[in-house]
Amino acid sequence: MTGDPYSAGVRELFAAPGHAGDLEKPDLRVQINDQGVRVALAATIDGDIIGSLRFRAWGCPHLLAAAEAFCRAYEGRPVSALQAFSAADLMQTLAVPREKLGRILVLEDTVRSLGQSVRQSPEPGKDTD
Protein backbone atom coordinates (compact mmCIF):
# COMPACT_ATOMS: atom_id res chain seq x y z
CA MET A 1 0.00 0.00 0.00
CA THR A 2 1.54 3.30 -1.09
CA GLY A 3 -1.42 5.45 -0.13
CA ASP A 4 -1.29 6.91 -3.62
CA PRO A 5 -4.80 7.05 -5.09
CA TYR A 6 -3.35 7.13 -8.60
CA SER A 7 -1.58 4.31 -10.42
CA ALA A 8 1.58 5.03 -12.37
CA GLY A 9 -0.48 4.71 -15.54
CA VAL A 10 -3.00 7.32 -14.43
CA ARG A 11 -0.21 9.67 -13.42
CA GLU A 12 1.55 9.34 -16.77
CA LEU A 13 -1.62 9.83 -18.81
CA PHE A 14 -2.76 12.77 -16.68
CA ALA A 15 0.62 14.46 -16.92
CA ALA A 16 0.94 14.08 -20.68
CA PRO A 17 -2.50 14.30 -22.28
CA GLY A 18 -1.23 14.54 -25.82
CA HIS A 19 -4.70 13.96 -27.23
CA ALA A 20 -6.40 16.73 -25.27
CA GLY A 21 -7.81 19.49 -27.43
CA ASP A 22 -9.55 19.77 -30.76
CA LEU A 23 -9.14 18.55 -34.30
CA GLU A 24 -9.07 21.15 -37.02
CA LYS A 25 -11.65 19.36 -39.16
CA PRO A 26 -13.28 16.53 -37.24
CA ASP A 27 -15.66 14.21 -39.04
CA LEU A 28 -17.54 13.57 -35.82
CA ARG A 29 -17.85 15.22 -32.46
CA VAL A 30 -19.92 14.03 -29.50
CA GLN A 31 -20.23 15.23 -25.91
CA ILE A 32 -21.98 13.86 -22.86
CA ASN A 33 -22.50 15.72 -19.60
CA ASP A 34 -23.52 13.37 -16.79
CA GLN A 35 -22.57 12.32 -13.25
CA GLY A 36 -21.12 15.78 -12.66
CA VAL A 37 -18.51 15.34 -15.41
CA ARG A 38 -18.22 16.30 -19.08
CA VAL A 39 -16.56 14.30 -21.85
CA ALA A 40 -16.24 15.34 -25.50
CA LEU A 41 -14.65 13.26 -28.26
CA ALA A 42 -13.75 14.34 -31.76
CA ALA A 43 -12.61 12.03 -34.55
CA THR A 44 -11.60 11.88 -38.18
CA ILE A 45 -12.72 8.78 -40.04
CA ASP A 46 -10.93 7.31 -43.03
CA GLY A 47 -13.24 4.71 -44.51
CA ASP A 48 -13.74 2.19 -41.71
CA ILE A 49 -10.69 3.29 -39.82
CA ILE A 50 -10.45 5.82 -37.02
CA GLY A 51 -7.96 8.47 -38.06
CA SER A 52 -7.28 10.98 -35.34
CA LEU A 53 -8.94 11.26 -31.93
CA ARG A 54 -9.03 14.15 -29.50
CA PHE A 55 -10.80 14.55 -26.19
CA ARG A 56 -11.89 17.28 -23.88
CA ALA A 57 -12.94 16.45 -20.32
CA TRP A 58 -13.94 18.07 -17.06
CA GLY A 59 -13.63 15.72 -14.15
CA CYS A 60 -11.27 13.83 -11.90
CA PRO A 61 -7.76 12.69 -12.87
CA HIS A 62 -8.97 9.15 -13.48
CA LEU A 63 -11.46 10.39 -16.08
CA LEU A 64 -8.90 12.56 -17.86
CA ALA A 65 -6.39 9.73 -17.86
CA ALA A 66 -8.99 7.27 -19.16
CA ALA A 67 -9.94 9.62 -21.99
CA GLU A 68 -6.29 10.00 -22.98
CA ALA A 69 -5.80 6.24 -22.78
CA PHE A 70 -8.80 5.68 -25.05
CA CYS A 71 -7.51 8.13 -27.66
CA ARG A 72 -4.04 6.58 -27.66
CA ALA A 73 -5.44 3.07 -28.04
CA TYR A 74 -8.07 3.61 -30.70
CA GLU A 75 -6.38 5.71 -33.37
CA GLY A 76 -5.88 3.51 -36.40
CA ARG A 77 -8.35 0.89 -35.30
CA PRO A 78 -11.56 -0.09 -37.10
CA VAL A 79 -14.61 1.96 -36.30
CA SER A 80 -16.38 -1.22 -35.24
CA ALA A 81 -14.00 -1.50 -32.29
CA LEU A 82 -15.68 1.49 -30.65
CA GLN A 83 -18.73 -0.57 -29.73
CA ALA A 84 -16.52 -3.02 -27.86
CA PHE A 85 -14.89 -0.33 -25.70
CA SER A 86 -15.21 -1.35 -22.07
CA ALA A 87 -14.92 1.04 -19.14
CA ALA A 88 -14.47 -1.93 -16.84
CA ASP A 89 -11.43 -3.17 -18.78
CA LEU A 90 -9.87 0.28 -18.79
CA MET A 91 -10.52 0.69 -15.07
CA GLN A 92 -8.73 -2.56 -14.40
CA THR A 93 -5.78 -1.58 -16.58
CA LEU A 94 -5.41 1.80 -14.90
CA ALA A 95 -6.35 0.60 -11.39
CA VAL A 96 -9.20 3.08 -11.16
CA PRO A 97 -11.06 2.75 -7.84
CA ARG A 98 -14.58 1.36 -7.96
CA GLU A 99 -16.16 4.57 -6.69
CA LYS A 100 -15.10 6.23 -9.96
CA LEU A 101 -17.13 3.77 -12.06
CA GLY A 102 -19.94 6.25 -12.76
CA ARG A 103 -17.54 8.79 -14.20
CA ILE A 104 -15.68 6.29 -16.36
CA LEU A 105 -19.01 5.02 -17.64
CA VAL A 106 -19.64 8.53 -18.98
CA LEU A 107 -16.54 8.04 -21.12
CA GLU A 108 -17.89 4.66 -22.23
CA ASP A 109 -21.20 6.25 -23.16
CA THR A 110 -19.38 8.95 -25.10
CA VAL A 111 -17.31 6.37 -26.98
CA ARG A 112 -20.44 4.38 -27.83
CA SER A 113 -22.14 7.58 -28.94
CA LEU A 114 -19.19 8.27 -31.21
CA GLY A 115 -19.54 4.78 -32.68
CA GLN A 116 -23.23 5.26 -33.30
CA SER A 117 -22.55 8.62 -34.92
CA VAL A 118 -20.21 6.93 -37.38
CA ARG A 119 -22.91 4.47 -38.37
CA GLN A 120 -25.53 7.19 -38.70
CA SER A 121 -23.29 9.64 -40.54
CA PRO A 122 -24.04 9.38 -44.28
CA GLU A 123 -21.03 11.35 -45.25
CA PRO A 124 -17.99 11.39 -42.98
CA GLY A 125 -16.48 14.80 -42.96
CA LYS A 126 -19.57 16.55 -41.65
CA ASP A 127 -19.63 17.67 -38.02
CA THR A 128 -22.58 15.97 -36.35
CA ASP A 129 -22.64 17.68 -32.99
Residues that bind other proteins (CB under 8 A): 5-6, 11, 14, 17, 20-21, 30-33, 37-40, 56-61, 64, 99, 129
What number of other Cβ atoms are within 10 A of residue 119's Cβ?
A: 10
Smallest gap from residue 113 Cβ to other proteins (A) = 10
User: What is the spatial distance between Cα 13 and Cα 90, in angstroms, rounded to a whole number?
Assistant: 13
- C-alpha dist (Å) from residue 111 to 6, 65, 105: 23, 15, 10
Q: How far is the CB of 24 from other proteins (least distance, A)?
A: 16
Q: Which residue lies nearer to other proteins by CB, 81 or 101?
A: 101
Q: Is 46 helix (H, G, I), strand (E, B) or coil?
A: strand
Cβ pair 51, 19 in contact under 8 A? no
Output 11 or 77, the one with its CB closest to other proteins.
11
By beta-carbon proximity to other proteins, the closer residue of 81 and 105 is 105
The distance of closest approach from Cβ of residue 64 to other proteins in the complex, given in angstroms and rounded to an integer, is 6
Amino acid at 88: A
